[in-house]
A and B are shown apart, each in its own frame.
Chain A
Amino acid sequence: MVCKLCGPKLSLCGLVLSVWGVIQLTLMGVFYHIRAVALLEDLPLEEGHHDIDHFIANVEYGYTTNAQNCWIAALLYLVTLVVSGHQFWMNNRSSVSM
């Protein structure tokens, strides 16, 4: 069996954080995907456009990459969720057996 890496408190903290992270980042990814205007200010845009078409293309690209980035982060949190969930389970089991 895999050894215990973290204590009960840290694993619980990781569990809560990763559940939150998965939910929020997945939703944010969806919102970026449907081009939510509220998230426009958080896009990585180049400075100084003079051409509206260029600007729109830039924004479109930003929305797509940010959606992907959010989902990547959500996936990472899913991994964290599995790890901390396992740790939490290990901690609980060991405390019961004691």
Chain B
Amino acid sequence: MGSLFRSEEMTLCQLFLQSEAAYACVSELGELGLVQFRDLNPDVNAFQRKFVNEVRRCDEMERKLRYLEKEIRKDGIPMLEIPGECPEAPQPREMIDLEATFEKLENELREVNQNAEALKRNYLELTELKHILRKTQVFFDEHEGGANITTESMTRALISDDPNNHMGQVQLGYRDKQESLEFLPCFVAGVILRERIPAFERMLWRACRGNVFLRQAEIDTPLEDPSSSDQVYKSVFIIFFQGDQLKTRVKKICEGFRATLYPCPEAPADRREMAMGVMTRIEDLNTVLGQTQDHRHRVLVAAAKNIRNWFVKVRKIKAIYHTLNLFNLDVTQKCLIAECWVPALDMETIQLALRRGTERSGSSVPPILNRMETLEDPPTYNRNNKFTIAFQNLIYAYGVATYREVNPAPYTIITFPFLFAVMFGDLGHGALMAIFGFWMCYKEKPLQAKKIDSEIWNIFFGGRYIILLMGLFSMYTGLIYNDIFSKSLNIFGSSWRNNYNISTLETNKLLQLNPDSWDYLQAPYPFGIDPVWQLAEANKIIFMNAYKMKISIIIGVFHMLFGVCMSLWNHLYFKRRISIYVEFIPQIIFLTVLFFYMVLLMFMKWTFYGATIDHFGSQEPDIVKSSGFCAPSILITFINMMLFKTDENPRTQCDPTMYPGQIGLQKFFVLVALVCVPVMLFGKPYFIMQERKKRALQGLQPLAENAENGTAGGAPVPTSHHQDEEISEVFIHQAIHTIEYVLGSISHTASYLRLWALSLAHAQLAEVAWNMLLRKGLKSAGYEGGVFLYVVFAGWAAISVSILVLMEGLSAFLHTLRLHWVEFQSKFYAGEGYLFQPFSFEVILDSAGQAEE
């Protein structure tokens, strides 16, 4: 099992596969997911590769499957998820079977669909006709009842309107059966979309100058449009007019409005007969349609059972041929040559998989897996589980580790939630976050199976372990800060007592509790901040600021020192001995004598100065010197140290320094730090120059020779090695590096003050939320106050979650991320590697499934 400390050791291997066995072997490797193949013919066009035909066939199959899937979705048939395991990649000869199956299914489905559409169109027409016959019957019935009146009024209108149309009367003889319908003009009947009726009517009126008579009736039931299968509402209309000219005009308009016209016999008997015919035909069609639907359904249900399986199979085949395209063909065409990166520890497993593949294909020649020497940088591969992967991704977001470099992820697992919690310290908010994180971890499997698409949810869910840990750590720091929704918990009993008498209490608005007296029990509160500070309105913030600022700097300096120490492991591993002497040692000295010394001063201040029991308020010189009155400012001391300056202490009773010899020691420290700078700046270039001179004297270049011998099989030789760089470039590089470190350690130390700043902001915001909302509810007197509290609490809870937990949490998260990326990782992490992306069916199927949705 590989460790998380470094990435796995990788080997470049050459793989000789017999052509017949290649497919089965690659399929086994895909199941394993531990091999990254390299493209051996990068300059060959995608269309000129060997297996391009197979890939194309797979594409075609996938298209057919997608079509099937769409049809299945349309019918709302549930598609079975693969129970248990995925099917293995099928044999190449099975591909033909699959192709045939899909071809058959697709054709069948297309045919069924075509038939169904034709039938539906037919059905629609017949239904429309049925409606026309039924509705027009009503018109005609009305008509015959009051026939004379209507016609007369119509003819009169026609005559008075347009004298030219006098001929209209004559044209009544247009139809043969005119005897029976003497006064009826000609008519057309049809069906039109309901929303087009008003426009249609107006158009008819205008185009025919009012010489037509339109009757319409709505069809109550919606009809299905066969091409789009939408439900549409339509109306039946019937237009009466006279004359051929009008007839063509009316027909044109009908055409323009996409109305369908149907022949409608004039004689009632004919109509009845026709209606009967239509009814029987509709019934016949209904049975046929039902059968077609049944057939389609049967086909689709059968397909739905297998479709997921088929998708997996086809995608696997495609992936295999895609991989085979990356291989080189041997001269004899008998075997394929592949180059791949494999984790050194997994060679055995891979050999085993290859043997399995050969057996399956029935080939006799075993595949050969050859280690190759190379100077190329191997890919970075860290074995992660579901817990560590979230933290590893935070690191990868900055940059993938250089091969075999120290991986910051294992430390990030603790430092990340901790630094977050320092900024987010509140027991209540931490608990909310922890509960949310715990719920996501507890319900992991069902939530994962749900496959929720929302991006924000996926971010939260991916970081569920980070959220859980951040919540738990925040609860801890909340206890330390003694903050729960900006109130404090008095668990162990405060160490402060009120010793004022009643008259003093009655007359003063603000009173101070003196730590240099029995107001303070002289034994600290056992855990975290004393709860009484929550009530100290006058100096709570001042006290907390001093405490939190110091804590931030202490944490920051230790974090950075730890980062610098990590670089030692890198130097040792990469055998950069010079770097240890001229980089690591001066760096750690620089940081220690300046900033670690400052941290020591803080601890000194905390321990040296304070009240002496039994000598409260004493004016004896010894007591005064160790009292809080004489405690120096650490910041001023540090600034003076850097400037070689000594301020006159205005408090004459006190010592000028914290301990004897402080000034001299500090001067020495600063000088040592200053000496470190040129060592860092010129040390490495100097040694490189020395080495080059030595090599020039010996007159050989062993490095170049090695490269020639070691590179086999045409692996490109990388040209990156600092020995070959220009010496001026080495200088520039080193200068940048040094300046970055020296200035960086100052600015980075200051940067850790963000821990204090955000923590202060969070505490203050929480207090504002409490005071502005919940206090209003609590301060309302009487029993109705309870109801008011009920309402106010909801508002306060909403503000707490949205602003204090979500927004503040996000900002604290980002600041923590920055502290890790910039302040911590800049000390040792290059992040110049590239990720190991093994050929794995799992990954391919996952991404294909995601792209689908």
What is the interface of chain A, defined by CB distance below 8 A to chain B? 17, 20-21, 24-25, 36-44, 50, 52, 65-66, 68-73, 76-77
Contacts and interface: CB of A to CB of B under 8 A. Distances in A.
Given A36-B490, A73-B789, A68 B783 contact: yes
Nearest to A80: B790
A21 B777 CA distance: 14
A18 B505 CA distance: 42
Contacts of A77: 790, 793
Given A20-B797, A70-B786, A77-B790, A52 B505 contact: yes
Contact of A72 (B489, B506, B787): B787
B774 interface: yes
Contacts of B777: 73
A73 B506 contact: no
A44 B488 contact: no
B781 A38 contact: no
B490 A38 contact: yes
Given A38-B490, A38-B534, A42-B774, A72 B783 contact: yes
Contacts of B535: 37-38, 40-41
A24 B780 CA distance: 18
A37 B506 contact: no
Interface-centre pick from B502, B535, B774, B781 (highest chain A CB count, 10 A): B781
Contacts of B534: 38
Interface in B65-100: none
Contacts of A36: 490
B490 A66 contact: no
Given A38-B488, A38-B490, A44 B779 contact: yes
Interface-centre pick from A20, A36, A52 (highest chain B CB count, 10 A): A20
B118 interface: no
Contacts of B797: 17, 20-21
Classify chain B's interface size. 20 to 34
Contacts of B490: 36-38
Contacts, number: 74
Contacts of B780: 44, 69
A36 B487 CA distance: 11
A50 B509 CA distance: 12
Given A21-B794, A65-B781, A73 B787 contact: yes
Nearest to A55: B506
A59 B488 CA distance: 19
Interface string B766-791: 00000000110111111101110110
A39 B789 contact: no
A43 B785 CA distance: 12
17 contacts: A24-B793, A38-B531, A39-B487, A41-B535, A44-B778, A44-B785, A52-B505, A65-B785, A69-B783, A69-B786, A71-B786, A72-B786, A72-B787, A72-B790, A73-B777, A73-B786, A76-B787
Contacts of A43: 778-779
A42 B775 contact: yes
Contact of B789 (A41, A52, A69): A69
A94 B632 CA distance: 70
Interface in B397-427: none
Nearest to A75: B786
Contacts of B786: 68-73, 76
Contacts of A50: 506
Interface-centre pick from B488, B505, B790 (highest chain A CB count, 10 A): B790
A72 B651 CA distance: 58
**Would you list the 6 A-B pairs with minimal beta carbon distance, nearest first?**
A72-B786, A69-B786, A42-B778, A73-B789, A73-B790, A76-B790
Contacts of B778: 39, 42-44, 66, 69-70
B606 to A, nearest CB: 26
Given A39-B487, A65-B782, A25 B506 contact: no
Interface in B518-574: 531, 534-535
A43 B797 CA distance: 20
A45 to B, nearest CB: 8
B169 to A, nearest CB: 66
A24 B490 CA distance: 17
Contact of B781 (A21, A39, A44): A44
Contacts of A52: 502, 505-506
A42 B779 CA distance: 6
B826 to A, nearest CB: 41
A68 B697 CA distance: 93
A69 B785 contact: yes
Contacts of A24: 793
A7 to B, nearest CB: 17
Interface in B470-495: 487-490
B789 A72 contact: yes
B165 to A, nearest CB: 63
A50 B782 CA distance: 24
Nearest to A53: B502
Contacts of A44: 778-781, 785
A40 B779 CA distance: 11
A73 B793 contact: yes
Nearest to A18: B794
B475 to A, nearest CB: 15
Given A39-B487, A52-B502, A17 B794 contact: yes
A45 B824 CA distance: 51
A38 B534 CA distance: 7
Interface string B497-519: 00000100110000000000000
A70 B780 CA distance: 11
A43 B776 CA distance: 10
A14 to B, nearest CB: 9
Contacts of B782: 65
A17 B801 CA distance: 10
Given A21-B790, A73-B789, 8 more contacts: A25-B789, A36-B490, A39-B778, A41-B775, A50-B506, A65-B781, A72-B786, A73-B787
Contacts of B506: 50, 52
Nearest to B786: A72
A47 B96 CA distance: 92
